[in-house]
Structure 1
Amino acid sequence: MNRAYNPSIRVKILADLISLSLIILILGNGLTLSDTTFLSTSRFFYLFLTLFCWFFAGSTMGLYKDFRAISFSFEWVVFLKSLILYSLVTSFLFSQIFKEFSFSLPHLLLQCSIIFVILPAQKLIIRVLLKKIRNSKQVRRKVLIVGAGDSGLNFYQHYVKDNHYGYSLAGFIDDNINPSLNGHYLGKTSDIDKVIAQYDLDDIVVAMPINDESQLEKIVTIGEREGKRVKIIPHYQRFSAGRVHVGTLGGLPIITLRSLPLDITDNKIYKRTFDIIFSLLVIILILSWLIPIVSLIIKMSSKGPVFFKQERWGLNNKPIICYKFRTMIHTSKDTDDAGNYQQARKNDPRVTKIGAILRKTSLDELPQFFNVLFGSMSLVGPRPHPVPLNIESKDSVQNYMMRHWVKPGITGWAQVNGYRGETHKHYLMQKRVEFDVWYMENWTFWLDLQIILQTLVNIVKTEKNAY
């Protein structure tokens, strides 16, 4: 599916890369290189890798989004996050991987200090210049809004009133007079031909639900006959309150009602790369010595295998095998005599003494880092539920199956907000799903880091629902 790029975003990306290149070339690379040629292969490689790190950090943190209708302070905060990530990634690469370069921390700090001053000023200048260009007589377009209801007024308030998108208001037409239009009401929709003839305008935006296709056909026909651009705002709110993506599949226009950040290939690559690096570090540095210790304790304290494996649903409802340290007696059953799934509950007699400690400290989840490494799970995402619980909840909990649009995680947004453990009441599962859906619709790399940090804090504090 095609993605439309805003030209102003391309300008911002290009300006950042040019400014960063100049900063690097003026300062020098701060590395000890045998080749002193100004643009030698080694120096060019350093420049390329540095620019890549900046673009990676900016894209991951959402620096290259459309901020024109958002205050500059918000963009500055995103820039600061990008700068922090850039400094961390750059220092890691040149100190741990590309060791042939003599890495200089003072030089990196100097470089970041200059970036901290130069790039925000550049972004502010670009923001002002682009707004002036969009609102110049040569570029600005006068728009007629068809529909004075909520959709039409919302379009005016967010996209016309403050001149962020190069529009100025010609007026409204609607079958009902709206007193709040303050003299901008130009007539009924049936009078569109007269309105076009009487008023100077460039674009027509249809912002009302039209049940009669002949009415829409008339608006489009008259508008294009008079050389006006016609744009239609689809009324999809009754189906979804989430993000909507309008694109094309081949030559076919398609509206995706719930568009997720992790639908974008770049974001999938960033998340997967982080999953692999983080899980490898945990496996090598922690699990390599912890697994033998925990395994020995489990074997000595109760009969049965060390690991507990269970089929659960992963990405797109596909079955995965989820691994944990065994925390219950090996003869315990998932379902009761009536066939109902038994969730772990407080003072559950099935849980062993060692298992209670592992569950309280979340150590029982550590083998799932192998799930993450092999790709069936992610570090952060909706927690995978046992199959009987999925079947039980999918028809009774709103949006439950949407949880499987992304990979399940070891920890998640719902868990750090207190919705972990037993969901013996319907509203508890509903709230967990609401937090999971919010996470999917608002994912950023920064949010994943926040959840991981909060999870570590919760483990230290020990959670009351961890049993």
Structure 2
Amino acid sequence: MTLSAAALNRSAEHPTLGKDNLLSLFESAICPGALITSLWATAYYFEGEILPAYLLLAVLTFALTFPGESRLQNTFGAVLIDIFSNWVWIAGLLGVTGYATGYIKEFSLNALTTWLWAAPATEIVASLGLQLAAPWVLKLQGHKQRALIVGMNEQGLALATKLQNSKYSRIEFAGFIDSRNTERLNTTPSHTLLGKISELAHIAQHSRIQIIYLSLPMASQPRILQILDELKDTTASIYFVPDMFVTDLIQGHPSSVCGMPVISVCETPFRGFDGVVKRMSDIVFSILILLMIAPILVVIAVAVKLGSPGPIIFKQRRYGLDGEEILVYKFRSMTVTEDGGVVTQAKKNDSRITPLGAILRRTSLDELPQFINVLQGRMSIVGPRPHAVAHNELYRKLIKGYMVRHKVKPGITGWAQVNGYRGETETLDKMQGRIDYDLDYLRNWSLRLDIHIILKTVRLVAKDQQAY
């Protein structure tokens, strides 16, 4: 019986904010953090230490205020009104609870009185500080993501206006896609028409579009399904702006963009806090593993050099995150280093494989240098296995949804590999099976699933005979 990723993740799903902007993470934590920091500072000043009563009050305060309000784009006056109105409600609730339970006697009156004005003052300073730091935080996240909107209707125009007017958005609006004649469209100089819907997939691929918003009427369902099929050959994240839903979603969840509701159709699971968790786990595990296997790396490197002529490390072009080309490292296991337009997969008893290479490939020791790729940020420990560029260009034409696997970084091991799809994929059915597992991984990712895959890889690698 085959275990699905969804079956492995039996814990209840938790709602997510659906934001990948670091500013939203700071906004969530900075105001609750300001209230707690001011409380502890006041307690330490008057009590000489932070007593258990203050720790409990901090927990209650955090529970009432997290996640914090979004105030980045508010005026200074609006920020003051919002902070003081929220603080009156929070302080009043805590005060009534303290009197009703008698627990207020555990606190110093001077400390509580000081905290009543110190808390909102600290929150104001923190909010203003975040506004000053916001441009730096945006630059820290790299270049903006290019987006287009399919459908120049009322809802699409409203979204475009919000994207263009949002001061702290990480999205760069490129233009509209619409098949109607320009005479029927309410265009202005600020509204760029990039092309027709029939050209959407081509435009997305060649204009480096990372996000696509579908603002189409519900009556257009057949056309929407056709568009989704065509877009499966791209790595763009896809969202519905209308109030509608379809099946076969990749990380589908309701979200909002600059205040407008959208539904993700095809999105990476590593957004916001999940992305931080994934990257930190990759860094920690790869450093620990590299430290443990350093002597093995040296021995293999010497053996490869002495065993046959050629480089120790074989560098091959692969598709990485968002379909960008990366260089992946492996110990050379063949007498050839193919990386051109045609790459022949290794087969059983392949004459190109060196005697040492056969051992390295069977035990997956040839993959060990890829932990360096993980540290570089090109790969992840767990994810869809990277294919040679030549194989990608072949299979993206044959398998629907093939390029969706590039919504995440490629991995050293993956969900497909621990479910029997490791090694040669000599038939289209086998490659289809591998892609099905890759997409199942994207739909159901969790840290628990990653750990399960790593442990299963360790158990399987010694006895797996499918890699040649």
- Compute the TM-score of the two structures, normalised by the length of structure 2: 0.49
Bigger CA radius of gyration: 1
- Compute the TM-score of the two structures, normalised by the length of structure 1: 0.49
Higher relative contact order (CA 8 A, sep 6+): 2
